[in-house]
């Protein structure tokens, strides 16, 4: 049996950085990863997908160059092999960087294999037994495949496998109208495929307010994407030239099907029962406000704990654990203000409460909206789709939430994220003097138009 000061299972965006901090403190660490360093973000999420989004945007800009007085002769051609290779290069550069970083750390042992608990302090991997007083789980999540008629009879794609496509689908059917599905839908439409979105719910991006959802749908429809919401009785069947996707109201002749109906935690094969670690009904590991499980000496970080499903929340889990365990601090998950983005084009930047949540909170609220068509920078760039919205507490003057669907919305939202984290009231933010011409310069104006509802 090999002994360590701590064992990290899973090399996503939390555990490895915590391991590195502990090694700096002179501890002996084992980092166990069953597949690739970097987790979903590096290998099948943020980095490769946003690289693909960039290629798709380049195609879109080239195709619409004449609007800006730039005439490109002939039809815009997409070389999917080059597109795929570019995304793989970005992934491999990041993965190799992690390999080199960890290799240079005295005290760090990286083990590739499938770890399982033997008891609360012991795990087995590759026929060896390892023990440590502290064990951190950072095992991530994977796509979930719904039990739909015919789904096991077709060769479907997931968000993991679609990034390896090196040829353009004739017609891509996207099952699921949430964030992952929407990004791939617009991406492949811009590459030149016909695209249909099939969503069981009544609207796209169901987490968002109805006006945001409607605006997202308008953006996608304007690019020629077919959207079928409220779809039921979804079923699949092989056809002579692809896959037939049938619903209660539509029949789609697709060449490829992307299943994007959610994700589930990679916790079902860790032997958690041997350690006594509790999960919820969805398989997420139950943790307290400091990311500790119900078993002393075991913590769960990142997607597998159900307290966030983003790279930045996973990294923040690392920061919370490191601050509490190594720096004598007392940081809590409940102090985190949730923010995220949807990377369609234009992107959606979001922070805090939706309007629906704010209305249900019992607070006296104020709301302001402004169409992107009234933003100078958006007009100069010829990208005026979307709008801004901010919600504030009428009594405390604190900002409760905001949504920016529009050009550079994923960057602009940080002005509001920073203000909310600093506890800045909206009247104080109104006095800032932003740079012109930018999209961010409209934040004080947006706040100045707040009105009670």
Active site residues: 436
- Tell which residue, 414, 415, 350, 423, has the closest CA to residue 393: 423
- What is the rounded distance in angstroms from the CA atom of residue 67 to the CA atom of residue 89? 32
Bridge partners for 128 per DSSP: 125
Q: Find out whether 156 and 257 touch, Cβ atoms under 8 Å.
A: yes
List C-alpha distances in Å: 411 to 46, 96, 276, 346, 450.
16, 28, 42, 11, 22
What HEC string does 4-69 produce? CCEEEECCCCCHHHHHHHHHHCCCCEEEEECCCCCHHHHHCCHHHHHHHHHHHHHHHHHHCHHHHC
Backbone angles phi, psi at 104, to 5 degrees: -90, 5
| Cα distance from N-terminal residue to C-terminal residue, the chain | 64
List C-alpha distances in Å: 165 to 55, 331, 344.
14, 42, 20
DSSP letter assigned to residue 203:
S
Instruction: Give the β-pairing of 122-125 and 128-131.
Output: antiparallel
Tokens of residue 75, six digits = 């039809």
Residues in the chain: 453
- Please count the helices (runs of H) and the strands (runs of E) in the chain: 13, 24
Largest CA distance in the chain: 70
Cα-based angle 134, 140, 143 (whole degrees, multiple of 5): 160
Other residues' Cβ atoms within 10 Å of the Cβ of residue 148? 17
- What is the rounded distance in angstroms from the CA atom of residue 145 to the CA atom of residue 151? 8
Other residues' Cβ atoms within 10 Å of the Cβ of residue 123? 24
Q: Which uninterrupted H or E stretch holds 349?
A: strand 348-352
Tokens of residue 275, six digits = 């350690």
């Amino acid at each position: 049996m090999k002994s360590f000061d701590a064992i990290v299972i899973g090399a996503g965006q939390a555990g490895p950085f915590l391991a590195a901090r502990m090694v700096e403190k002179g501890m002996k660490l084992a980092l166990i990863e069953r597949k690739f360093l970097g987790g979903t973000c590096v290998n099948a999420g943020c980095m490769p997908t946003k690289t693909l989004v960039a290629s798709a945007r380049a195609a879109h800009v080239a195709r619409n160059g004449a609007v800006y007085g730039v005439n490109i002769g002939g039809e815009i051609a997409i070389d999917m092999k080059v597109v795929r290779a570019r995304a793989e290069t970005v992934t491999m550069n990041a993965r190799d960087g992690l390999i080199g970083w960890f290799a240079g750390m005295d005290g760090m042992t990286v083990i590739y294999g499938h770890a399982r608990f033997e008891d609360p302090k012991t795990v087995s991997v590759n026929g060896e037994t390892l023990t440590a007083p502290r064990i951190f789980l950072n095992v991530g999540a994977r796509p979930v495949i719904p039990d739909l008629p015919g789904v096991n009879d077709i060769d479907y794609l997931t968000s993991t496998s679609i990034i390896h496509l090196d040829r353009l689908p004739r017609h891509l059917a996207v099952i699921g109208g949430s964030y992952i599905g929407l990004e791939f839908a617009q991406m492949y439409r811009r590459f030149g495929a016909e695209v249909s979105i099939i969503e069981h719910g009544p609207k796209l991006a169901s987490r968002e307010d109805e006006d945001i959802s409607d605006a997202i749908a308008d953006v996608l429809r304007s690019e020629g994407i077919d959207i079928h919401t409220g779809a039921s009785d979804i079923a699949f069947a092989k056809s002579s030239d692809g896959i037939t996707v049938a619903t209660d109201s539509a029949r789609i002749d697709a060449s490829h099907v992307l299943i994007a109906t959610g994700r589930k935690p990679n916790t079902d094969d860790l032997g958690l029962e041997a350690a006594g670690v509790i999960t919820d009904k969805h398989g997420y590991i139950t943790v307290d406000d400091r990311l500790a499980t119900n078993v002393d000496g075991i913590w769960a970080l990142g997607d597998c704990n159900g307290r966030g499903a983003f790279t930045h929340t996973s990294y923040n889990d690392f920061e919370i654990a490191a601050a509490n365990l190594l720096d004598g601090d007392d940081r809590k998950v409940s102090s985190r203000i949730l923010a995220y983005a949807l990377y369609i084009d234009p992107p959606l930047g979001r922070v805090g409460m939706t309007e629906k949540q704010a209305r249900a909170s019992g607070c006296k609220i104020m709301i302001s909206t402004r169409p992107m068509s009234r933003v100078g920078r958006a007009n100069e760039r010829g990208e005026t789709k979307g709008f801004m919205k901010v919600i504030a507490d009428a009594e405390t003057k604190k900002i409760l939430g905001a949504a920016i669907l529009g050009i550079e919305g994923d960057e602009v939202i940080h002005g509001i994220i920073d203000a909310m984290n600093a506890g800045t009231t909206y009247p104080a933010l109104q006095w800032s003097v932003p740079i012109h011409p930018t999209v961010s310069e409209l934040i004080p104006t947006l706040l100045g138009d707040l009105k009670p509802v």
